[in-house]
Structure formats: structure tokens, C-alpha cells
Structure 1
């Protein structure tokens, strides 16, 4: 029963993480990392699929092995965060704009504080 709940949790987390690619306040990376954690404890097949995924695999392994991210991934994360918040702020009412600016600054500060590891082509 525990394994079934972990698989369901991993699938839900992965689905929300994928949705978070286009929804500004839904964090992709933590949800994908949660999926990896759930799958590692419940399904070798799903875990191996996720860590061998061309988009998510390297990010997951970097976090698991080094507790950091590659400079190229960090740069993309910051640029996409800025782009999504700029669009959201432009479309939001004034009261929400102030909140979005604050949240955007917090998110970008958090990403900026993550340790940088060498890109795989630099190793």
C-alpha cells in the first residue's frame, strides 16, 4: 500500500512539476525532485525512467549527488523565472503586481543561492 501511495504521489508531483514549467508560481524543480524521491522508494522502473529523462535526469542527479546545479541550468532557471514574472506582472492588477514582485525576488534569491557545480562538458 505504501509503494502505491508513493507512486501516486510521484506521478502527481511530476504532473504538477511539468505544469509548473508554464505556471509562474508552481515550482517545477522541487516537484520533480519530490517525484524522484517518491519513485526511488517505490518503483525502480519509474525512478530509472525519470533519471534517464533528457530534460529532468541530469538536474535530479546533480541535486542528489552534489546538492547543486550546473551554471547553464541556473542561468536558464533565472531567465525563465524573470520572463514568467514579467509577463505575470504585466497582466496582473496593481495589488497583485506588488505581491508578484516580492515573490519573484524571493524565488530568484533562492535560485541564486543554490551552489553551482561544473557543467558536464567542463568536467
Structure 2
């Protein structure tokens, strides 16, 4: 039963990650990392497909090995957060309290992302198997 739950959560996370590749305000990488986590507990084959994927695999492997995020991903994440906040601010016309709470949450998230290390050169050269 637990294996099936992990498998379902893996597919749900993967679907959200794929959607995030096309919607600029929905993150992709974090959902792929979460999908790999759940697949690692339910299907070694599906986990290996993510880890060995030429585009999706390197960020997941970097996160697992070093807690690292590439500079390109940091820029994309912070740009997405800023764009999301701008859209929220302009289209939602939120009350000052909600604007402040959203800004504080996004600033905290951006600080977390920016302070993660960059992947080492050795890690980037060898994929996880």
C-alpha cells in the first residue's frame, strides 16, 4: 500500500513539474526532485529514468549530492518569484497585509535559493547511477 502511495505521489509530482516547464510561475525542478524521491521509494526504474535524463537528471543529482543549485537555476527561480509577485500585486490588488506576507515569503525563499552552493565541477561531470 505504501509503495503505491509513493508511486502515485511520484507521478503527481512529475506531472506538476512538467506543467511547470510550460507555466512560468510554477516551479519545475523542485517537483522533479520530489518525484525522484518518491520514485526512489517505489520504483527504482522510474527513479533511474529521472536521474539519467539529460535535462532533468543533473539538477536532481546536484541537489542530492551537495544540496546545490546552479547559477542559471537560481536566476530562473528568483526571476519567477519576482514575476509571480508582480502579477499577484497587479492583478490581485491585495490588501497591504497580504502584499507584505507574500513579499516576505518570497524573499525568504529567494534567500534560501541564492545561498545554496553551486554544483562542483566533479559532480557536473559524472551522473548518478
Which category describes the TM-score, using the shorter chain as reference length?
0.7 to 0.9
Alignment RMSD: 2.4
For 1:1-44, what per-residue CA distance to the aligned partner results, in whole angstroms no more than 9, with x for missing partners? 332221111111222334455374x6544332221111112112
Give the equivalent residue in structure 1 for 2:8.
8
Structure-2 separation of matches of 1:49 and 1:117: 21
Q: Report the TM-score, using the length of structure 2 for normalisation.
A: 0.74
Q: Secondary structure at the match of 2:42?
A: coil
Q: CA deviation at 1:101?
A: 1.8
Unaligned runs of at least 5 residues, structure 1: none
Give the equivalent residue in structure 1 for 2:111.
109
Q: CA deviation at 1:63?
A: 0.6
For 1:33-71, what per-residue CA distance to the aligned partner results, in whole angstroms no more than 9, with x for missing partners? 221111112112211221233432111010111111122
Q: Is the 8 A contact 2:68 2:116 kept in 1?
A: yes
Q: Is the 8 A contact 1:39 1:47 kept in 2?
A: yes
Give the equivalent residue in structure 2 for 1:48.
48
Q: Report the TM-score, using the length of structure 1 for normalisation.
A: 0.77
Q: CA deviation at 1:102?
A: 2.0
Q: Is the 8 A contact 2:51 2:58 kept in 1?
A: yes
Structure-2 separation of matches of 1:102 and 1:4: 37
Unaligned runs of at least 5 residues, structure 2: none
Greater strand proportion: 1
